[in-house]
Amino acid sequence: MSTERIKLIKETLSKIDRKFTIWDNGTWHGGPWFDGIWHNGTWKYGHFYKGTWKNGTWEGGLFHGGTWEDGDWKGGAFLGGTWKDGIWKCGSFHGGTWKRGCWYGGEWKGGTWKDGYWDGGSFNEGTWEDGIWCGGSFHGGTWEYGTWDGGSFHGGTWEDGVWRGGAFLGGTWKNGVWYRGEWKGGTWIKGKILYKGKFVESDVSPDIFFKNNPV
C-alpha cells in the first residue's frame, strides 16, 4: 500500500466517531482496528490504526500506530508507534520508537531503538541509542551507545560503546572500546583497543592507533 493511500485512510478515520473497544482473546482475521485495548489473542492480518496492544500473537498485517506493550510478532509491518516489550521474530519495522524487547530477525527500516536485545536481521537506517547487539547486519544510521557482540557493520556512524567481535566494513568510528574483531574499511577517529584485532585497510587518525595498539 502506498504512503499516500495510508495517509488518506488515516485522515478519513480521524473524522469518524467510534466507540472505544476492548478485545479479550480470540482470533482477528482481517479488517481495521480503530482504537481500544487488545488483550491476548491472535492477529492474522488487517490494519491496527490506534490503541494499545497488551499481549497476544501478531502473524501479519499492518500496525499503523499506537502502543505495543507485550506479545509475539511473527510477520507483517510496523509502520509507527511505540514498542515497549515483546518478542520480534520476523517482519519489517518501518518507523517508530523501540523501547524494550527482544529482536530475533527481520528488517529494521527506520526509527529509534532506545534499548533492548538484538539477535539477527538487518538494521537499515535509524538511530540506535542503547542495548545489546548479538548478530545481524547494520547497514546505516547512527549507533550512539551499546554493546556489540558479533555481526557486521556495513556503514553509518559509531558514536560510542563497546565492540566485542564482528566485522566493521565501513563507516565512521568516533569513540568507544574495541576488544576484538575485524576492521575492513572506514574512518577511525578516537577510541581504545584492548585486544589485538585484524586491520585490513582504512584511514585512521590519530597514529596512536598503530603505535600503541599493534593490529
Residue 15 in this model has a pLDDT that exceeds 70: no
Residue 50 in this model has a pLDDT that exceeds 70: yes
Residue 202 in this model has a pLDDT that exceeds 70: no
Mapped onto helix, strand or coil, the DSSP state of residue 122 is: strand
Q: Which of 5-19, 36-50, 61-75, 171-185 has the lowest mean pLDDT?
A: 5-19
pLDDT tens figures, 123-139: 999 999 999 999 999 99
Residues 2, 157: Cα–Cα separation, whole Å = 30
Query: Which pLDDT score is estimated for 62?
Result: 97
What would the grid cell of residue 33 be?
A: 482496528
Considering only residues 202 and 164, tell me which one the structure prediction assigns the higher pLDDT.
164
For 5, residues 6+ apart whose C-beta sits below 8 A from its C-beta are none
| pTM of the full structure | 0.83
Residues 52, 62: Cα–Cα separation, whole Å = 14
Residue 210's CB is within 10 A of a number of other CB atoms, namely 11
Q: What is the mean pLDDT of residues 55-77?
A: 96
Sheet bearing 77-78, strands edge to edge: 32-33, 47-48, 62-63, 77-78, 92-93, 107-108, 122-123, 137-138, 152-153, 167-168, 182-183, 198-199
Query: Can you say how many angstroms the Cα of residue 197 is from the centroid of all Cα atoms in its chain?
Result: 27
pLDDT tens figures, 175-194: 999 988 888 888 988 888 86
Q: Is-contact 142 159, C-beta < 8 A?
A: yes
Query: Which pLDDT score is estimated for 20?
Result: 64
Q: What does 42-98 look like in DSSP terms, one character per residue?
A: EE-SSEE-SSEEEEEEE-SSEE-SSEEEEEEE-SSEE-SSEE-S-EE-SSEE-SSEE
Q: What is the mean pLDDT of residues 140-159?
A: 97
Query: Which pLDDT score is estimated for 193?
Result: 82
For 141, residues 6+ apart whose C-beta sits below 8 A from its C-beta are 123, 124, 125, 126, 127, 128, 156, 157
